[in-house]
Chain A
Amino acid sequence: MDGIDILIVVGRVVATFVLLLLVTIINVWLERKVVADMQNRIGPLRAGPWGILQTVADGLKLFFKEQVMPRKAEMGMFVLAPFLAVIPAFLIFTNVPWGRPFSIGGREVILQGADLNVGLLAILALSSMAVYAVVLAGWSSGSKYPLLGGVRAAAQAISYEAAMGLSMVAVVMFSATTGEAGGTLSLAELVARQNGTFGDVFPAMDAVLRFVPRWNLIPQFVAFGVFFIAIIAETNRAPFDLVEAEQELVGGFHTEYSGMRFAMFFLAEYVNIFSMCALAATLFLGGWNGPTFEGAVPALVSAVLPTVWLLVKTYVLIFAFFWIRATLPRLRYDQLMNLGWKRLIPVSLAWLVVSMVALGYRSWGLPWA
């Protein structure tokens, strides 16, 4: 590893972070516009063309605002909590490959913050970390509504993390049978195994299946459903936003936060939405896989197209987030718990067993044969 390698690492990490910040700025604006459209309103339109700089304006405003510190707050934790929210949010996305690897001057460059061989585990660990921020913010505020929000966050995160993890297991198990090297938790490898179409798997029906991309979504559709619901709950979005429930908890865990500290929670939420949707696209929708029209278009275009495909898939999911938020009312607390423990976890466990049996049959045939 020489200086150029280090430069490449720094470059791709910076590129990942810049991408994340850019899409977050867009996403905040996009959500306001989409929800405004669904409510027959206009939405932000003053800052920049179509109000696209609204997020920048809001960020600048928050940057210069006073940061109020409640008298009863636990000072250290109160100051630390926003950072605990932002750091895992950014780190989760560093595991997601956002473009096709390419080689330049004999060096392989991956478009990913870091290709961990335990990428999925790292993501699960980091998303569990994120809940500490909410719990600590709620507790350290020294105020009743934030405390309630923090308690809710803890319960909700535990309930839905289990379902999310179980649906990931099904995907990992499925993709273990598709590669030669056996099971993997590396996201880059998981994406590579979704390359091609189902025509490659079933050559007999190639005429039809060649148009069906080899996404994990198709064999693992139940896992996708559970995963999608779980990530909505994990990012504390409507209809699972009991943590910040404006109407009952006056904003929940961030009631006492203002200025830049509040902005960091806000940033973390939107970074999480993007990272989780990108993760769902990576696990179930083939990641950056997609037609690149090699040879038909300039080389630069076909090099950028994989990133575009990932963004398109991610934004379809993000739009679904917005759409659901604009539509569904918030679940009651016991409904949330029931849905998590009595529905999603049994469903994902049952689906895990079904996938296991199906994959075992494909690998070894009937046990008595």
Chain B
Amino acid sequence: MAGCFDGGTRLSVLGVAVGVIAEIWKGLKVTGRQMVRTVAGSGLVTIKYPDEFREKPQRFHGRHVLNRYPDGMEKCIGCELCAGACPARCIYVRGADNPPGEPRSPGERFGYVYEINMLRCIFCGLCVEACPTEAITMTQLFEMSTTTRDDAIYTKTELLMDPDGSVPHMFPSDPLARMEELATADGWLRATAPSGVAAYEGVAAWQGTPAAADWAPEPGQEHADG
């Protein structure tokens, strides 16, 4: 196309016209081909969300969840390492001593207050990596829009999973609420993952969460661990 409209070309008018039309036709063929592909059904790259959903990557960074051990004990020990690791400063934790007689967590202390401001969270997953007890992990839920700012601050009520392993949804009656997204764990690579060390070759250094449930192996793995 260069030189077609610059007025300085030495080509004849007819030559320019034919050249321009040939170039335009080349472009039209591309869009025409894509249209035929789309109408035929093979070229479509978008989906009819929210009627259809894409399968998300297994290690998708979605909404957080606070896990429990299979016996029902909370994993969080209130150490605040997640709050320290958070680059967006959106996590607030206050630990407390376990009440004697009815401990909430296996350690000395438990997470008495646990709040995440989802408006500030950047879903980087550093809290998950920082957690020494795998208490906080991420799910695949990403539809978290709220109508008020207050609703975007998730407290322990919303974050902590029930003893049976199911995770509470902020708005369970919402038409977009999909509980299976909350129940789908992201992959959790252990902080001590010995990547590249020959002795650990073939050893799964990956754990599905929330740990209360029985997880299928990750693609490529023979059996689930955890």
Interface residues in chain A, defined as those with a beta carbon under 8 Å from any beta carbon in chain B:
34, 36-42, 45, 323-324, 326-328, 331, 334-335, 338-339, 342-343, 346-347
- B7's partner among A40, A323, A342 (CB-CB below 8 A) is A342
A167 → chain B closest CB, angstroms:
15
Q: Is the CB of B46 within 8 A of A42?
A: yes
Q: Choose among B13, B27, B46 the residue that contacts A40 (Cβ–Cβ < 8 A).
A: B46
With contacts A40-B44, A40-B45, A342-B7 taken as known, whether A327 is within 8 angstroms of B27 at the C-beta atoms is yes
7 more CB-based (< 8 A) A-B contacts, given A34-B35, A40-B44? A38-B34, A40-B34, A41-B38, A327-B24, A327-B31, A331-B5, A342-B7
B54 at the interface (CB under 8 A from A): no
Cβ of B46 and Cβ of A37 under 8 Å apart? no
CA distance A40 to B5 in the complex (A): 31
Chain B positions within 8 Å of A45 at CB level: 48
Q: Are A40 and B43 in contact (CB under 8 A)?
A: yes
Interchain nearest-CB distance for A32 vs B (Å): 13
Q: A42's contact among B16, B27, B32, B44, by CB below 8 Å, is which?
A: B44
Q: Which residues of A contact B7 (CB under 8 A)?
A: 338, 342
- 18 inter-chain pairs at a CB distance below 8 angstroms, sorted by A residue, are A34-B35, A37-B34, A37-B38, A38-B31, A40-B37, A40-B44, A40-B45, A41-B45, A42-B46, A323-B31, A324-B28, A326-B31, A335-B5, A338-B5, A338-B7, A343-B13, A343-B16, A343-B17
Bitwise interface map of B from 34 to 52 toward A, beta carbon under 8 Å scored 1, else 0: 1101110001111110000
Cβ–Cβ < 8 Å partners of A327 in chain B: 24, 27-28, 30-31
Check if A38 sits within 8 Å of B38, measured CB to CB: yes
* B24 x A328 contact (CB < 8 A): yes
How close is B3's CB to chain A, nearest CB, in angstroms? 11
Closest to B32 in A: A323
Q: Which residues of B lie under 8 Å from residue A328 when comparing CB positions?
A: 24, 27
**CB of A327 to closest CB in B, whole Å:** 5
A227 to chain B, nearest CB (A): 15
| Interface SS of B by simple majority | helix
Number of residues in B with C-beta < 8 Å to the partner?
A: 23
Q: Give me the 8 closest cross-chain CB pairs, A-B, nearest first.
A: A335-B5, A37-B38, A38-B31, A37-B35, A327-B31, A38-B35, A327-B27, A40-B45
A38, A335, A346 — most chain B CB neighbours (10 Å): A38
> Does B6 have its Cβ within 8 Å of any Cβ on chain A?
yes
**Interchain CA distance A40-B30 in the complex, whole Å:** 12
B153 → chain A, closest Cβ, in Å? 32
A-facing residues in B104-153 (Cβ within 8 Å): none
Q: What's the Cα separation between A326 and B29 when bound, in Å? A: 11
Chain B: which residue is nearest A36 at the CB level? B38
**A347 vs B17: C-alpha distance when bound (angstroms):** 10
Q: Which residue of A lies closest to B43 (CB)?
A: A40
Indicate whether A338 sits within 8 Å of B6 (C-beta atoms), given known contacts A41-B45, A324-B28: yes
Tell me the minimal C-beta distance from B53 to chain A in angstroms.
15
Alpha-carbon gap, A114 to B61, bound state (A): 65
Nearest Cβ on chain A to B17's Cβ, whole angstroms: 8
Q: How far is the CA of A38 from the CA of B32 in the complex (A)?
A: 7
Q: Which residues of B contact A331 (CB under 8 A)?
A: 5
- Bound Cα distance from A323 to B32, whole angstroms: 8
In contact, A41 and B28 (Cβ under 8 angstroms)? no
| B8 CB → nearest A CB, Å | 10
Question: What is the CB-to-nearest-CB distance from A339 to chain B, in angstroms, rounded to a whole number?
Answer: 6
B46: which A residues are within 8 A, CB to CB? 40-42
Residues of chain A within 8 A (CB-CB) of B39 are: 37
A105 to B44 CA separation, bound complex (whole angstroms): 54
Distance in Å: Cβ of B72 to nearest Cβ of chain A? 45
Q: Which residue of B lies closest to A239 (CB)?
A: B24
Identity of the chain A residue whose Cβ is nearest the Cβ of B24 in the assembled complex: A328
Most chain-A Cβ atoms within 10 A of its Cβ — which of B7, B28, B35?
Answer: B35
* Cα of A326 to Cα of B32 in the assembled complex, Å: 10
* Shortest CB distance B213–A (Å): 35
Nearest CB of B to A18, in Å: 30
Closest residue on chain A to residue B23 by CB atoms: A328
From residue A71, how far is it (CB to closest CB) to chain B in Å? 32
| Set of chain A residues within 8 Å of B5, measured between Cβ atoms | 331, 334-335, 338-339, 343
